[in-house]
Amino acid sequence: MRASECRGWSLLNNGLLALVIAVATLIRVYHLADMGVSFDESFTLRMVEFSWPEMMDRIVLETQPPLFYAMLKIWLSIVGHSVLAARCLTVFWGVAGILCLYFFVKEGYWDREVSRSQNFSVAEVPALLSALLLALSPIHIFWTQQVRMYSLPICLALLSNYLLIRALSEQSRPVLKWGLFTITAIALVYSHYFGLFVLFSMYVYAIVHQILNQSGQPISNRVSGPVFSACGVWFAWQPWLPYFLTQRNRVDHNFYLPELSWDVLGRSIHEMWVYKGFVPSASNGLLIAQVAFLFLLLLPLGRKRADFLIFSCASVVLLLMCSISYFSHPIITPRYLQFVWIYILAAISVVCCRSPSVIRPFAICICVGSMFYVCQRHLAWRERAAQQAGVRAAVEHFDNSRFTEDKLISSNPMLFTSILSYTENRQYIFNYLPASGFPFYQGTPIMKESDYLTRENIAELASDTIWTLDADRGSMGRVPMPETWQLRSEKVYREWFATLYLRVYIRTDAED
């Protein structure tokens, strides 16, 4: 093929890729600063306010590894501590993950023995379609806009897939290629524990691939790359292993996810597809699961190197999730299913692009159209949610209306940390502490002892006025005021995750 034709195909591909990335970025910055700060975000933001030693001690008390917290702490120390700045970091990793999915699929299906135009059809179009579907995926959009670690490990998982394909397919500089893969794999397991599931599926694939495709060498030479890489990840994981076991034990004894059932699995899968735009339905979710499973079964029929890797990552990770949920502790939830969803999207894209030429345009249009529809529904939900900034409005009313020594008491640490994101008067913000305390997953790892007030403490306060912020969400509850305090007024605020009640109490003897 002439050089001018190659440049033409490259320009077309790069232009389409730039368009996909631009769309993905615009969607993810839509109302980025307007959405109310959720508990997950406020928890993360307060965690990185502690000093490095104290932050590391408190991370052990929750359920995640430390890499994202360390990265966020460094980032905010450079650009300034704000919700928008923190969200920009997760948006960056979300968009980077879309790029990594593109390069992974392109590298996995690129054939150096065919023409540039053929590679555009068999490698670049599936890669572009995969990137577009992920760009429009509501669950990826939502968690990319949240100050939590999910966009980082998704990006690292896809980058690991790309580097693994490079290490397995190119014989030059194997030490460098396996070294880059190993470094990324270490970062993956330090960013989210589901990275262990993804890496397990990748190492199984890599060892089987080397045994079957490097028959002219001794078996020890064939598997040396993946084996040494796995050993490197294992040794790098050892310093954190005791803390991981401590966190795992805490989750086994006290966590909030429901037991595995067909209803839970179906609702989780449906929510993974539509996220926030629809009411999740178990029957719809199980139907989506069957369609996705069909695409995964059709994928290996192409007998390409990436077919089996995508199939392995999707099926093994889901199988491990279901097995652990059934035999140990439930871990099925939409946010975790993202580690399966990214590979299902790749499988759908590849199978659609392999369909007969007569139906291929229709198959691609159906995939893009359906994802565009759920994306549009998600953005409509986000538009409504951005107008329900209840915590911000309630805190502003408190700051503007309170007397000098008035205090605001929240009903739950999940609400308390969100309040802190909107006020500079933190010395007047407290959280009610019941006799039974709170479970760790409601925010106790980032709470200080001085943040709490018991019912007895409230009764002994010298102030004549107390404000409380309660929520109708079952786990948040209401501050139980002593009998010496009488409700004076109540204002209702709508937040996207709950309805909030800002109440003002006065002492009965003060009123007299």
In the chain, the amino acid numbered 271 is E
Q: Is 309 exposed, middle or buried (0-12, 13-18, 19+ CB in 10 A)?
A: buried
H-assigned helices in 280-328 = 282-298, 305-327
- DSSP 8-state class, residue 173: S
Residues of the chain with pLDDT below 70 are 1-6, 9, 215-216, 253, 474-475, 509-512
pLDDT at 13: 83
pLDDT at 316: 95
φ and ψ at 137, to 5 degrees? -70, 120
Q: From CA 90, how far away is CA 61, in angstroms rounded?
A: 23
pLDDT at 151: 96
Q: Is 302 exposed, middle or buried (0-12, 13-18, 19+ CB in 10 A)?
A: middle
Q: Is 427 exposed, middle or buried (0-12, 13-18, 19+ CB in 10 A)?
A: exposed
CA 280, 286, 288, 294: dihedral to nearest 10 degrees? 170
At a CB cut-off of 8 Å and minimum separation 6, what does 11 contact?
Answer: none
Q: What is the DSSP string of 202-257?
A: HHHHHHHHHHHH-TTS-HHHHTHHHHHHHHHHHHHHGGGHHHHHHHHHHHHHS--P
Q: From CA 336, how far away is CA 488, in angstroms rounded?
A: 44
**In which element (H, E) is residue 452 found?**
strand 452-453
pLDDT at 319: 95
pLDDT in tens, 146-158: 999 999 999 999 9
pLDDT at 388: 87
pLDDT at 512: 47
At a CB cut-off of 8 Å and minimum separation 6, what does 277 contact?
Answer: 138, 374, 377, 378, 380, 381
pLDDT in tens, 249-264: 888 767 778 888 999 9
pTM of the model: 0.94
pLDDT at 5: 59
Q: From CA 411, how far away is CA 471, in angstroms rounded?
A: 8
